[in-house]
Amino acid sequence: MYIFIVNPEAGNGRAKRVFTKLMKSQLYQKLNSTYFYSEYAGHAEMLTKQIKIDYKDQLSGIIVIGGDGTLHEVMNGLGDEEIPVSFIPGGSGNDFARGIGMKRKPLDILRETIAGNNTTAYWLGKYKLDRQEERIFVNSMGFGFDAEITEKANRSRYKVLLNKLRIGTVSYVIALIHVLLTFKPEDITIEADGKRQIINNCWMVTVSNHPYYGGGMKIIPNAKIQSGRFPVLIIHGISKWKVLGLFMTVFTGKHIDFKEVELLEASTLKLIANRNIAYQVDGQTASCREAVIKKETDEIYIMGHKYSKNAGA
């Protein structure tokens, strides 16, 4: 049996429209399946945990229809459980789909999932904040400036309108300008594979499993889908107005040429701040003072899609 987990609010209703159309197909109607709608933040994770119990002996796979946040919740609900997962993008940003080069139509993804013809190996990240329980991230984690921008955009009224117009990334640009006026960089200590350094006047630290975030921004353009290691981007010692210019080049990936941008690679990263700072994980925001991040060495498999090295929108 296949279980669909659908976030009807993702992409301002786009995920629900995708699923409604799939339900009318002959392929779906012949399929042994059932579905669940997530109803609030965190619900998809709870649904996944319950599905593991209720359908343990008859589960062929979970098919997620929603945005990156929905996939984040499902992966955390699965934990270390080896249950096949398929993803049909229906969000506003869809950076995961962009990162693995997923360009097929929803019905084609479903058909390939059922046929078992194509799978993509993928390596997740794990993180622990302020010594709490370990969790999973699918796309990226960011600390500082970009996290505050994400929080501002998520709480804004204009994001809903811009998403409806399919220019949701503009909400990120508007939020960037707002945050730029008040943001104050911090001194942050990081340990990359045990090597410690203090980053003075640090604006942001970001790790990513693939190049994209923020609805198509190439935050780490050379990021690879790989085992055991992830790239780390650090921006520090930069003026406010130069930050604005830097972010205008993120869509092309040229920002990494700025001298204030530092790139390194690690399998484990520890970050310590002097006070609580904002963070974002797969587009969801909160704050913490200490974080430990590591890259998985064991792969998972995404059904219904074959990874393309020419990934991107």
Question: Could you give the strand order of the β-sheet that contains 300-303, starting from the edge strand earlier in sequence?
Answer: 33-37, 2-6, 61-66, 85-89, 300-303, 119-122
| Residue found by looking up tokens 């594979």 in the block | 193
Helix axes 106-115, 14-23, angle to 10 degrees: 60
Residue 218: is its pLDDT beyond 50? yes
Q: Do the beta carbons of residue 256 and residue 181 sit within 8 Å?
A: no
Query: In the predicted model, what is the mean pLDDT of residues 15-40?
Result: 97
When computed from its CA atoms, the radius of gyration of the chain, rounded to whole angstroms, is 19
Q: Which residues pair with 143 in a beta bridge?
A: 205, 279
Q: Do the beta carbons of residue 106 and residue 21 sit within 8 Å?
A: yes
Residue 92: is its pLDDT beyond 90? no
User: What percent of the chain has pLDDT above 90?
Assistant: 76
Query: In the predicted model, what is the mean pLDDT of residues 279-307?
Result: 93
pLDDT value, residue 217: 87
Other C-beta atoms closer than 10 Å to the C-beta of 233 total: 22
Local confidence band at 153 (pLDDT 50, 70, 90 cut-offs): confident
pLDDT value, residue 174: 82
Q: What's the mean per-residue pLDDT of the chain? A: 91
* Residue range(s) in the chain whose domain bears CATH number 2.60.200.40: 126-295
Q: Do the beta carbons of residue 10 and residue 90 sit within 8 Å?
A: yes
* Residue range(s) in the chain whose domain bears CATH number 3.40.50.10330: 2-117
Local confidence band at 312 (pLDDT 50, 70, 90 cut-offs): very low
pLDDT value, residue 251: 84
Single pTM value for the model: 0.92
Query: In the predicted model, what is the mean pLDDT of residues 29-51?
Result: 97
pLDDT in tens, 132-147: 999 999 999 999 999 9
Residue 238: is its pLDDT beyond 90? yes
Task: Output the DSSP codes for 117-138.
Answer: --EEEE--EEEEETT---EEES
pLDDT value, residue 192: 97
Q: 2-117 belongs to which CATH class?
A: alpha beta
| CATH-assigned architecture of domain 126-295 | Sandwich (2.60)
pLDDT value, residue 167: 54
Local confidence band at 313 (pLDDT 50, 70, 90 cut-offs): very low
pLDDT in tens, 164-189: 656 556 677 788 888 988 999 999 99
